[in-house]
Amino acid sequence: MPSETPHILLVGESQVAEPLVTAFETAGDDCNGETVSLTVTDGIGAALSRLRGDGPFDCVVVAEWPEDGVGVELVREIRATDSGLPIVYLADNTIPDRTVPDRTTELVELGIEGYLQQGSFDPNIELVPRVERLATRHRAERLAEAATEDGSGYPDDDWLLEDALDALDDVFYVYDSTGSLVRWNARLNELFGLSDEELYGKNADSFFDERDRPAIRRAFNDVLEGNDKVVEARAKTTEGPILFQLSNRRLVAQDGSIVGVCGVARDVTLHRHHEEQLARQNERLDEFARVLSHDLRNPLSISMGFLELEREANDSEYLGRVADSLERIRDIVDDVLHVARQGTAVLDIDTVSLESVARDAWSTVDTNGSTLVVEADATIEADRERLQRLFENLFRNSIEHAGPSPTVTVGLLDSNAGFAVGDDGDGINPNVDGNVFEPGVTTNPDGTGFGLDIVRSLADAHGWSVENASGDAKGARFEFTGVTFCQSAADDTDSTGENE
């Protein structure tokens, strides 16, 4: 069975090794358990015996002066048989009776992963995190390679998970109970341009704008008290200013003790920008709707009222034309007002019968001898009022453009992919076929050109897509997809009903 933790070999005399062992043990205590498996030897010969006999190691830490030689000799021996094993070298030029030539070039050529000068670094900050990450990565690669060779699959999901965390676009982090950073994924290094040594132990609020730090501290304390917390904070990163949304959870050990806080920091800069932009657009739409509703409708109603009084006393062909023009203006105002308010109204989603809503919509339209056929025995999730408005506009479009007494059909798409509304009329004029949903587009001199634009806005509000599917077939046809069905459509359509 493979070791549950990465296996590290520490080679050096006791006065060098003991403080390093203490640092690794302290890191394990901070994380409420052993983070690595550590083997210590004092000489090169003993280290080589361990490497050959104690199973695979995932990182070797070599001091400059082992008991029986010079550390670089061990590095040469290791590299003679293993070019991929991570090695961290601890140089030491402080011993008076030992001459130390510059071995930096050779060590680099031998492919060491770390070089530290003894006596000039804090092992808790600069050594332990680096070694643990090197060992963790090597172990994952070693186990994955072994699994590939024997076909057994990835043998340890823990390291697969670590690789997955490093692949995230979000930042993953773990702080201990004092608020010091102890674990993170590679995204944090990338965004702040900091090494593992520089990140280890940083306070939870130190990454963020001064103005947001109090909120970060309050959120951290709230989470430690058992309250899950989401907070937003700004930070300067290597990719520019970012607004982060931090979702935090408390970490509790099996014995009930509080270990710390973990969480995910997500870039919501663009999302918030879009929200603010949408809010500004909605404010402008509200103002536009107010102008239409009050500043235009009221004087229009007054004008139509006085015109009606004048026609009762002195009617004429010219006054009739004025009445027709005012009614057209009223229709345009009503349609534009509906479009303006469409973006800000909230959907009231319910389960509704397509057939029932279609027939209710048909009953409100001046059908002028047209016929409705419903072949849609299905229930969907929709806002009933808006769905009825959608049908009303489609029905009026068919009645106004399809020719005398058309048959309008409401049916289902194959495999319940959505529904369609079509007619058997003259079809859509080729001159406007490609832009029928644009506001103001119409071939009817008495039309406003907003009917199909309203249909599209109503479909968008539901999260549906609508397509002009008329093609070469007779009549117009509009198909709606992305619809959520609550029950399967009936396979048998013998119950198809007709309305006139």
Q: How far is CA 27 from CA 8, 160, 212, 363, in A?
A: 14, 22, 29, 75
Tell me if 267 sits within 8 A of 183, measured CB to CB: no
CATH architecture classification, 168-267:
2-Layer Sandwich (3.30)
Average pLDDT, the chain: 81
pLDDT of res. 455:
87
Query: β-strands 349-353, 379-383: how paired?
Result: antiparallel
For residue 9, give the H/E element and its range: strand 7-11
Tell me if 192 sits within 8 A of 207, measured CB to CB: yes
Tell me if 244 sits within 8 A of 233, measured CB to CB: yes
CB count in 10 Å sphere of residue 259: 18
Q: Which of 257, 265, 260 is nearest to 220 (CA)?
A: 260
Question: pLDDT tens, 52-89?
Answer: 887 789 999 999 889 888 999 999 999 998 888 999 99
The DSSP output letter for 440 is T
pLDDT of res. 206:
93
pLDDT at 227 over 70: yes
Question: pLDDT tens, 176-187?
Answer: 988 999 989 988
Q: Which residue has the tokens 């690595």?
A: 36
Retrieve residue 174's tokens: 């773990």
Q: What are phi and psi of 267, to 5 degrees?
A: -75, 110
Question: pLDDT tens, 382-423?
Answer: 989 889 889 988 998 888 888 788 999 999 998 778 999 999
Residue 380 pairs with which residues in a beta bridge?
Answer: 352, 485
Quick one: fold of 273-342? Helix Hairpins (1.10.287)
CB count in 10 Å sphere of residue 440: 12
Retrieve residue 415's tokens: 């495999």
**Which CATH superfamily includes the segment(s) 349-499?**
Histidine kinase-like ATPase, C-terminal domain (3.30.565.10)
Q: Which of 383, 381, 400, 355 is nearest to 458 (CA)?
A: 383
For residue 454, count CB atoms less than 10 angstroms from its CB and return exposed for 0-12, middle for 13-18, buried for 19 or more: buried
Q: How far is CA 454 from CA 276, 346, 433, in A?
A: 25, 16, 17
Q: Rounded CA gap, 387 and 480, in Å?
A: 12
Tell me if 115 sits within 8 A of 91, measured CB to CB: yes
Q: Rounded CA gap, 362 and 390, in Å?
A: 11
Residue 466 pairs with which residues in a beta bridge?
Answer: 480
Q: Rounded CA gap, 325 and 320, in Å?
A: 9
Task: Tell me the three state secondary structure of residue 55.
Answer: coil
pLDDT at 480 over 80: yes
> Regarding predicted confidence, which is higher, 317 or 55?
317
Tell me if 412 sits within 8 A of 378, measured CB to CB: yes
Q: What are phi and psi of 381, to 5 degrees?
A: -90, 120
pLDDT at 446 over 60: no
Query: Where in the chain are the domains?
Result: 7-157, 168-267, 273-342, 349-499
**Of 85-89, 426-430, 493-497, highest mean pLDDT:** 85-89
Per-residue pLDDT band at 196 (split at 50, 70, 90):
confident
Tell me if 399 sits within 8 A of 406, measured CB to CB: yes
pLDDT at 153 over 70: no
**Of 238-242, 295-299, 340-344, 379-383, highest mean pLDDT:** 379-383
Q: How far is CA 310 from CA 160, 317, 330, 335, 344, in A?
A: 84, 13, 19, 28, 40
pLDDT at 479 over 60: yes
DSSP states of 289-342: HHIIIIIIHHHHHHHHHHHHHHHHHH--HHHHHHHHHHHHHHHHHHHHHHHHHH
Alpha carbon distance, N-terminus to C-terminus of the chain: 78
Q: What CATH number does domain 7-157 carry, 2.40.30.160, 1.10.10.60, 3.40.50.2300, 1.10.3720.10?
A: 3.40.50.2300
Tell me if 23 sits within 8 A of 54, measured CB to CB: no
Chain-centre distance of CA 305, in angstroms? 55
**Of 257-261, 409-413, 429-433, highest mean pLDDT:** 409-413
pLDDT at 360 over 80: yes
Q: Which residue has the tokens 């340890």?
A: 156
Tell me if 58 sits within 8 A of 139, measured CB to CB: yes
Retrieve residue 462's tokens: 């539901």
Retrieve residue 123's tokens: 């092992």
pLDDT of res. 341:
63
